C-alpha cells in the first residue's frame, strides 16, 4: 500500500445505489478510485465493498474523513473503516519451539514483502531467541504453566499495550489463549492450523491423516475466537499425497503449506482485504 492511498472497507444491508453513492462521494472530494471490489450476499442480504483511493488529491484527511462520510454511512447503515497508507500496522509474533513459520514471516518482513513494523517477538520457550536476535528484534520470554497462565497473559497484555500492537500472529504458538485475552483483540489475532479445517483437529494431525490414508493434506489460517480452531477462515491450501508418503513426508509438506498459508493470511490482513461476516470472511484478493 502506497503512503498516498487510503482503503475504505464497507459492510451493510444490500440496497440499490451503494456503489454510486461511494463513487460520488470520492469524486466530490477530489479522490481517484484506484481499485474497487464488491460482493453481494443474497442469502443474508448483505453487501461488502473495498475501495482503494488515491489520497493525494483527496480533500479529506484522517481528522475530518469520518465527519464528511457519516451521512452516506448513516443512509445505508454501514459498518465501515478507513485505513490510511501512511499508517503501518504494528505486528507482534508469538512463538513456542517450531521455527518454520516465524522464519518465513521474518524473511518476508526483512525483504519488505510484508509492510509491517515488528516491535518484538514473544515466546513461552527460549528456543527461538537466537533466530529473533539475528534479525535485530527484541525477544521476550514469557513462560506459561497451568498455574501461572493468568499472570503470564497479563504480562503479555501489558507488553502489547506498551508497544501499541495492532494485531497478533500465532506462529505455531502452542498455547490456548483465554477468552478474555481473545476478546481484547477481536479479528486481530491470526493463527495457523496444521490441517485442513475442520478435519483432524487435536493432537498429531499428520499421524491421524497417515492412519486414514488421506490423499490430500492441508493447512488453514483463521482469526482466533474463544472457540478453539473455529474462527473465521482467511486462507487455506492443500497438497496431494499418496500411499508412498511417510509421516515425515507429510510433516515436511505440511510445514511448507503452513508457511505459505500463514503468510498469505497476514498479507491479506495487512492490506485490509478481509471483511468478517459472522463466522465467515469475505476476502478481496
Where do the structural domains in the chain lie, given as residue ranges?
5-84, 90-283
The CATH number of the domain covering residues in 90-283: 3.40.50.170
Q: What is the pLDDT of residues 137-187, one digit of tens each?
A: 999 999 999 899 999 999 999 999 999 999 999 999 999 999 999 999 999
Q: Which residues of 56-94 are buried (b: 16+ CB within 10 A; e: fewer)?
A: eebebeeeebeeebeebbeebebebebbbbeeebbbbbb
Instruction: Find the catalytic residue in 229, 245, 249, 272.
Output: 229
Q: 3 pLDDT exceeds 80?
A: no
Contact of 101 with 262, CB cutoff 8 Å: yes
Nearest of 79, 92, 70, 83 to residue 5 by alpha carbon: 83
Spatial strand order of the sheet with 5-13 comes to 32-41, 46-54, 5-13, 79-84
Mean pLDDT of 198-206: 68
The CATH number of the domain covering residues in 5-84: 3.30.70.260
Q: How far apart are CA 149 and CA 228, in angstroms?
A: 17
Radius of gyration for the alpha carbons in the chain, expressed in angstroms and rounded = 21
User: Would residue 68 be called left, alpha or beta, if left means φ above 0 and alpha means ψ between -120 and 50 degrees?
Assistant: alpha
SS3 241: coil
Mean pLDDT of 266-270: 97
Other C-beta atoms within 10 Å of 95: how many? Answer: 26
Among this protein's residues, is 229 annotated catalytic? yes
Amino acid at each position: 500500500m502506497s503512503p498516498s492511498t487510503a482503503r475504505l472497507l464497507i459492510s451493510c444491508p444490500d440496497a440499490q445505489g451503494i456503489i454510486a453513492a461511494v463513487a460520488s462521494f470520492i469524486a466530490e472530494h477530489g479522490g481517484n478510485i484506484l481499485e474497487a471490489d464488491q460482493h453481494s450476499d443474497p442469502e443474508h442480504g448483505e453487501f461488502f465493498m473495498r475501495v482503494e483511493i488515491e489520497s493525494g488529491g483527496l480533500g479529506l484527511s484522517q481528522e475530518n474523513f469520518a465527519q464528511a462520510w457519516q451521512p452516506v454511512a448513516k443512509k445505508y447503515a454501514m459498518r465501515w473503516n478507513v485505513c490510511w497508507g501512511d499508517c503501518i500496522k504494528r505486528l507482534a509474533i508469538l512463538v513456542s519451539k517450531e521455527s518454520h513459520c516465524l522464519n518465513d514471516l521474518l524473511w518476508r518482513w526483512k525483504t519488505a514483502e510484508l509492510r509491517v513494523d515488528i516491535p518484538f517477538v514473544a515466546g513461552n520457550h527460549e528456543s527461538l531467541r537466537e533466530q529473533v536476535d539475528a534479525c535485530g528484534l527484541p525477544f521476550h520470554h514469557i513462560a506459561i504453566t497451568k498455574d501461572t497462565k493468568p499472570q503470564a497473559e497479563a504480562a503479555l497484555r501489558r507488553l502489547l499495550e506498551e508497544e501499541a500492537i495492532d494485531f497478533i500472529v500465532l506462529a505455531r504458538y502452542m498455547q490456548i489463549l483465554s477468552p478474555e485475552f481473545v476478546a481484547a483483540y477481536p479479528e486481530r489475532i491470526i493463527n495457523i492450523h496444521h490441517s485442513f479445517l475442520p478435519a483432524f483437529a487435536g493432537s498429531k494431525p499428520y499421524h491421524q491423516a497417515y492412519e486414514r490414508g488421506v490423499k490430500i493434506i492441508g493447512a488453514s489460517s483463521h482469526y482466533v475466537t474463544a472457540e478453539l480452531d473455529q474462527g473465521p477462515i482467511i486462507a487455506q491450501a492443500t497438497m496431494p499425497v499418496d500411499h508412498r508418503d511417510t509421516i515425515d513426508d507429510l510433516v515436511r509438506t505440511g510445514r511448507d503449506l503452513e508457511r505459505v498459508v500463514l503468510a498469505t493470511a497476514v498479507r491479506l490482513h495487512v492490506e485490509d482485504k478481509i471483511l468478517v461476516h459472522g463466522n465467515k470472511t469475505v476476502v478481496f484478493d
